[in-house]
Amino acid sequence: MTRENQDTLKKIILPFVEGPLPEYPKLLPILSCGLFGISEDFIEKYQSLDALFVKNKFNTYFFEADGDSMEPTIFAKQILIVDRSRSDFHGKVCVVGLEDKLICKRVFIKTNSVVLKSDNSKYKDLEVLNNENLNLWGIVIANAGFIT
């Protein structure tokens, strides 16, 4: 998908499901681009996306990414699945509250500071001393490609 086509993608809302979790088919891992159609023969098993990603529905949040500072790990318009119940932030891609703004950066915790790093080398690291105005909000546990 080209960057020009991304602007035509629809924004989605992913509500939490009450009751039985929906299950979606998990297909064989190899996908041929020449395949004319998918039939039941290719279904390996059914699985729930909620069961895979939502460990605690009260601590799992969805965000839409914007900007290019986390490329090639995360691209604009991708949906980020964020777990607030985890606290193992060091080295992980996280959602961070900084000066009343939520941003997505890779976090490195040092003795007297926290370094917020972009995966895109065009951007400089940001070092936050003494955790001033910093809230380690949650860890990005998965990202969904360009959703249409």
Write down all domains in the chain, each with its CATH number in brackets. Answer: 4-9+55-146 (2.10.109.10)
**With bands split at pLDDT 50, 70 and 90, how would you rate the model's confidence at 106?**
very high
Kindly tell me if the per-residue pLDDT of 117 is higher than 70.
yes
Q: Report the predicted TM-score, pTM, of the whole model to 2 decimal places.
A: 0.67
pLDDT at 100: 82
Averaged pLDDT, 31-53: 63
Between 74 and 35, where is the model more confident? 74
List of residues 6+ apart from 126 with CB closer than 8 A: 98, 105, 115, 116, 117
